[in-house]
Amino acid sequence: MRIVLLGAPGSGKGTQSQRLVERLGIPQVSSGDLLRAAVARGTELGRRAKEAMDGGRLVDDSLVLQMIRERLGAGDTRRGFILDGFPRTLAQAEALERLLRDLTQPLDAVVQLEVDAAELVRRISGRRCCADCGRVFNLFTSPRAAIESELCPRTGAPHRLTQRPDDNEATVAERLRVYEEKTRPLIDFYRARGLLRVIDAMGDVEEVSRRLGQALGAPALRAARAAKPATRRAPHRTGARRKAAQPKSARRRPKSATGRAARRGKARAGLRVNTRGKSPRTTRAGQGRPKGKPR
């Protein structure tokens, strides 16, 4: 699926994107994260973007577009992506449309997350990110004990929570103003294309996540999930090592002990034969199921 999440700063685009990544196995493409990474690395893009970001203004369309074009050219977006924070202007939306047309990868849905202004400010002031893995938390909505007990997947230590420099009061006011002026018009842009779905993004994360799933369409989500590549693959083993790694009960028996003939033999010998599972399991007739072996 190719999805755009639209919404004001603090509407939960980042949090809901992370959940969709886990659900669908497609990458989140966050323009804000990409820009912050460029600033942290001190690249030319980062240097040119920093001033606008610190002031709560938008970075030049041309810089952002170049960055997104490169990101969407990477192989991992071929199966789909979640755009978070991009597009933010009509010029960006039009350029994205052209880019995706060239790639023959049109958008499937644009979801607008609606949150009222007072709640946006509250959420932004409580927002914290892990400096190592980038995971986003909220001091008001995630229980503190849960945040502190969770380990960072990058370092294995507790998350190092930091506040974004642009999550301060003055910058937030400017970001919300810029959103109303430059980004809100995208709602009509995508409505006119029949792609827009609007959800109420007030309430807890689980509830919003459920509404988002409904807006994207349960059948479409199921199809995307079915196409999701396995996240963990069994290590490649061969011959004796594979056999040694299997529990004894799962190891293949010699041919003579399997199959219909063997089952007939066992039945004659007073053994009850379970033919439902792949590997025949036997229990002494009258003894019932062995302990710890559920039906």
Question: Looking only at residues 33 through 52 of this chain, which bind ligand AMP when binding is defined by CB under 6 A?
Answer: 35, 52
Question: In the complex, which residue's CB is closest to ligand AMP?
Answer: 32
Quote the tokens at residue 6: 């639209």
* Minimum distance of ligand AMP from residue 197's CB (angstroms): 20
* Minimum distance of ligand AMP from residue 147's CB (angstroms): 20
In the β-sheet with 161-162, what is the strand arrangement from edge to edge? 136-138, 127-130, 161-162
Query: Strand, helix or coil at 206?
Result: helix
Query: Does residue 64 interact with ligand AMP by CB under 6 A?
Result: yes
C-beta closer to ligand AMP: residue 64 or 130? 64
C-beta closer to ligand AMP: residue 85 or 224? 85
- How much of the chain is helix, strand and coil, in % rounded to 5? 50, 15, 35
C-beta closer to ligand AMP: residue 163 or 282? 163
Q: Which stretch binds ligand AMP (CB under 6 A): 30-38, 148-156, 241-249, 250-258?
A: 30-38
Q: Using CB atoms within 10 Å of the CB of residue 93, give its burial: 0 to 12 exposed, 13 to 18 middle, 19+ buried.
A: buried
Annotate 134-193 with three-state secondary structure.
Answer: CCEEECCCCCHHHHHHCECCCCCCECCEECCCCCCHHHHHHHHHHHHHHHCCHHHHHHHC
Quote the tokens at residue 196: 């827009």
Helix (H) / strand (E) element for 224: namely helix 218-226
Residue 127: active-site member:
yes
Residue choice 29, 38, 39, 53 for contact with ligand AMP (CB under 6 A)? 53
Residue 69: active-site member:
no
Query: Does residue 172 interact with ligand AMP by CB under 6 A?
Result: no
Q: Which residues lie near ligand AMP (CB under 6 A)?
A: 9, 31-32, 35, 52-53, 56-59, 64, 85-86, 88, 92, 166, 175
Which sequence positions are flagged as catalytic?
A: 13, 88, 127, 164, 175
